[in-house]
Amino acid sequence: MGVSTNLYLAAEGAAAAATTGGIWSEWAGLMLIGPMLAFVVIVLFGKRMRYQGAEVAIGAMAFNFVWSSVLLLLNMGDSGVLYERSLEIAAVGGGLVFELGWIVDGLSIMMYWVVAAVGLAVFVYAHGYMKGEVRVTFFFAALSLFAGSMLVLVGSPNLVQLIIGWEGVGLASYLLIGHNWELKENSSAAMKAFYTNKVADVGLVIGVIIIGITLGSFHFWDLAAAAAEHSAALGPVAVAAGLLLFFGAMGKSAQFPLHIWLPDAMAGPTPVSALMHAATMVTAGIYLMARTFPLYQELATAARPWMIAAGTITLFGMGLLALVADDIKRVLAYSTVSQLGYMMTAVAAGGYTAGLFHLFTHAFFKALLFLGAGSVIHAVHSNNMSDMGGLRRHMPDTYRTFVIGALALAGVFPLSGFWSKDEILATLGYEGYNLVMWIAVAGAFVTAFYMARAVALTFFGEYRGHGEPHESPPIMTRPLWALAVPAVLAGVVNIPGLKLPWIGSFTDWLSVRSVPMGDHHAEAIDVGLAAAGLAAAVAGLWLGWRAFGPSAADRADRDRVEIPVLYPLLRQKYYLDHAALGLVWVIRQPAARAVNWVNDYVIDGVVNGVGALCQRLAGLLYGGVDQHGIDGVVHGLSWGTSGMGGLIRRIQSGRVQQYAGLLVAGLLLLAVVVLFVL
Amino acid sequence: MILNQFLILAALLFCMGVYGLLVRRNAVMVLLSVELMLAAVNINLVALEAFWQTSEALGQILAVFIITIAAAEVGIGLAIILLIFRNRRSANVDELNLMRW
């Protein structure tokens, strides 16, 4: 096994020095193995445990949280952490090597920490949420697999391990979305997620193969180096490879038009949605784009307009869909898709730090919102906001934390969402994408609007559901408060022009990298732009409050304002599901016919031909060799033996006198021989 | 000493024995013929012993052995013939093909 360690410092970046991080980096692979081990242990022994395996899953996550927190602290301040380790598993051929390992740099540490922090909160919450549900043990096993695969993905130093984690995440999400598979919708949603992701994965795999064959290496490190020196080998295929990788990212990170699976993925239990939307699944695509950022920055620049277009459509168009959804989780799901559009647009536009910073803050407030929604659903036993209302009085903890999350998502000063959204807007402006920037501002307005609607319909007015809703137990509300803290404060770490003592800034955290790249972080806040973003958010909140707040409480259809053409279009999700199904339908008939034809004529022909040939050969063999050759020998031997026996047995007549006669004859013969011959 | 008379007598006895062995139908007579052949051998042994005057009298010792064996053989043979006769009411050798293949 070969071990390689690469050190590389960013060309530009505040942190000048990097340490390896000592044992915390050298054994960081434990974080990748921990949840996987937990998965195996829960599958094998979970049923016999006191809490049905939840304790193992939570324990593994707590371990990861502690470990990644230490790494995060080491990475803060003046010197970053940089460490990479690859263990050679097998030679693939063509000079390619299959390696497993882990990478510890600013980007990975940030992702480790987000996954562990959000994961820990969600796991603890899930322990309360899943009480009395079916298959709790398997749920926690799959949850561990989910988080573990994501850690394998973000810890990967090469593209192949990334695919392993990528597929693990896809598998675990399939299992978790379809957790209550007895309902047809749930299993259908799981399959939809799986299929959509698989379609995208094809792009990813082909892109990885192109890169691997062109470079002779799967390492991000080599990819970045080749991009930095404008490798002549990589140049011609860079755009194709970049677009294919982006296609893979579109699936996981739910970019238009492959976003269709994510809202349906709400069929899973709420903690799954929280984990999926905040930390473990949809961020994978953004992470991939960030990790391969040098490729897009240097070589595959032609791919970036497409990425920006997809991201922009996603951030605005999908945000609108959240306006008409009745299912509270669907509102949040479309909101996630929209926010992912922000991240993708930012990364594609060159705002590496901006996109990741939004990923960072979004993870906390979106996990918070989902867990809050789960708490509400737990109380009213319905996903629909038309069955909610007035919960402010019944569920004070959920209400307060949900509002914090909603304001953070809307981008209200000074919560975390404001800073990260402003960073994206600033980057878009700096890079010269002014149109996109204003669409993003409009998107901020839409975001605020639908969050105001969701809060108003859920927590204000009169209760419209059945039974008496009650606050969730502390095991569920405590994670909410735990997530509310970073949802409020996470933005502080990257305020332009402000560098906190000792902690440093988010930009600095990411500045020590295993891959070189340049990106922009504003030195001072652009007050005009920030004000525009904030104004959009406040306007959205105000309008949403006017349209759906308590003042409109007496309207029967208080959860909707039907604008002709637009409303049905949004209700039908731009007919994208129909389009996707139609596409499948259009492709399916000819494809099925073609496959059938190929099957009937080509494959069957080959099979039948081979069969007939074999039969002929066997016939020859049977008639010629077996029947006449081998059987001939066998029969001849037996015939000869039996014939000889038939002759010789005549001697054995049983007549003593005949024997005696022969004896005498023999004696005489001997006597003659002795007397006359010798 | 004259050897030839004894040898001729033994040869005649032996030939009579062989003839009886091959020709007689009655099993008892066949057995008697075998005794004749043994007697011929004994005559030869004793005559040659007397002719060569060996000090150890090997021929006579051997003859005594043969007589003993012949007695035992006749005992067993007669017993077998007796049993066959009891079973088949016949001691005809031609009808005895029990030991066929």
What H or E segment, with its residue span, contains residue A99? strand A96-104
CA distances (Å), origin B11, targets A410, A658, B39: 141, 22, 10
CA A482 to centroid of chain Cα atoms: 25
Q: Is residue B96 part of a domain?
A: no
Mean pLDDT, chain B, rounded, equals 88
Residues from chain A that touch B98, judged by Cβ atoms under 8 A, are 654
Contact B101, A652 (CB under 8 A): yes
Residues from chain B that touch A666, judged by Cβ atoms under 8 A, are none
**Could you report the per-residue pLDDT of A397-427, keeping only the tens digit for each?**
888 888 898 888 888 888 888 888 888 888 8
Q: Which token pair is A266?
A: 């709400």
Res. A557 pLDDT band, cuts 50 70 90: low
- Average the pLDDT over A239-264 and give the result: 85
Q: Is residue A663 over pLDDT 60? A: yes
Res. B72 pLDDT band, cuts 50 70 90: very high
Q: How far apart are CA A20 and CA A83, in angstroms?
A: 5
Q: Strand, coil or helix: what is A472? A: coil
The confidence score (pLDDT) of residue A10 equals: 38
Structural Rg of chain B based on CA atoms: 17
The confidence score (pLDDT) of residue B44 equals: 92
- Average the pLDDT over A535-563 and give the result: 70
- Average the pLDDT over A147-154 and give the result: 91
Res. A515 pLDDT band, cuts 50 70 90: low
Domain count, chain B: 1
**Could you report the per-residue pLDDT of A419-436, keeping only the tens digit for each?**
888 888 888 888 778 888
Strand partners, A103: A84
Q: How far apart are CA A291 and CA A285, in angstroms?
A: 10
Q: Is residue B22 part of a domain?
A: no
Q: CA nearest B23 in A: which residue?
A: A657
**Contact: B18, A652; criterion CB under 8 Å:** no
CA distances (Å), origin A309, targets A246, A292, A575: 12, 19, 20
Nearest to A201, CA basis, from A235, A167, A157, A229: A167
Shortest Cα–Cα distance, B18 to chain A (Å) = 8
Q: How far apart are CA A111 and CA A108, in angstroms?
A: 5
Q: Is residue B64 part of a domain?
A: yes
Identify the residue among B14, B15, B22 best suited for mutation to test binding to A, counting A beta carbons within 10 A and taking the highest.
B22
- Average the pLDDT over A70-99 and give the result: 80
Residues from chain A that touch B22, judged by Cβ atoms under 8 A, are 657, 660-661, 664
For A529-596, the DSSP string reads HHHHHHHHHHHHHHHHHHHHSGGGTT-TTTT----TTHHHHHHTGGGHHHHHHHHHHHHHHHHHHHHH
The confidence score (pLDDT) of residue A522 equals: 65
Q: Is residue B13 part of a domain?
A: no
CA distances (Å), origin A278, targets A283, A421, A474, A518, B45: 7, 16, 22, 26, 122
Name the range with the highest mean pLDDT among A315-324, A455-464, A634-643. Answer: A634-643
**Could you report the per-residue pLDDT of A517-543, keeping only the tens digit for each?**
556 666 667 777 888 888 888 888 888
Other Cβ atoms closer than 10 A to A382: 16
Residues from chain A that touch B94, judged by Cβ atoms under 8 A, are 655, 657
Mean pLDDT, chain A, rounded, equals 81
Contact A560, A567 (CB under 8 A): yes
Percent composition of chain B: helix, strand, coil (DSSP 3-state, to 5)? 80, 0, 20
**Contact: A657, B98; criterion CB under 8 Å:** no
Q: Is A646's Cβ below 8 Å from some Cβ in B?
A: no
The confidence score (pLDDT) of residue A9 equals: 39
The confidence score (pLDDT) of residue B64 equals: 93
Q: Is A589's Cβ below 8 Å from some Cβ in B?
A: no
Q: Is A653's Cβ below 8 Å from some Cβ in B?
A: yes
Give me the residue from B22, B97, B99 closest to A660, CB to CB: B22
Residues from chain B that touch A653, judged by Cβ atoms under 8 A, are 97, 100
Number of A–B residue contacts, CB under 8 Å: 32
Give me the residue from A653, A657, A661 closest to B100, CB to CB: A653
Q: How far apart are CA A171 and CA A164, in angstroms?
A: 11
The confidence score (pLDDT) of residue A253 equals: 85
Q: CA nearest B100 in A: which residue?
A: A654
The confidence score (pLDDT) of residue A275 equals: 87
Q: Is residue A655 over pLDDT 50? A: yes
Residues from chain B that touch A657, judged by Cβ atoms under 8 A, are 21-23, 30, 93-94
**Contact: A664, B18; criterion CB under 8 Å:** yes
ipTM of predicted complex: 0.82
CA distances (Å), origin A491, targets A65, A83, A358: 20, 27, 9
**Contact: B21, A657; criterion CB under 8 Å:** yes
Which stretches of A76-158 are DSSP H helices? 106-129, 136-154
Q: Is A664's Cβ below 8 Å from some Cβ in B?
A: yes
Beta-strand runs (E) in A597-665:
none
The confidence score (pLDDT) of residue A550 equals: 67
Nearest to A139, CA basis, from A128, A154, A151, A153: A128
- Average the pLDDT over A605-614 and give the result: 90
Contacts (Cβ under 8 Å, ≥6 apart) of A118: A274, A275, A278, A279, A363, A364, A367, A483
Identify the weakest region by mean pLDDT among A1-5, A141-145, B34-38: A1-5
Structural Rg of chain A based on CA atoms: 35
Contact A466, A389 (CB under 8 A): no
* Domain region containing B77: 31-90
The confidence score (pLDDT) of residue A513 equals: 58
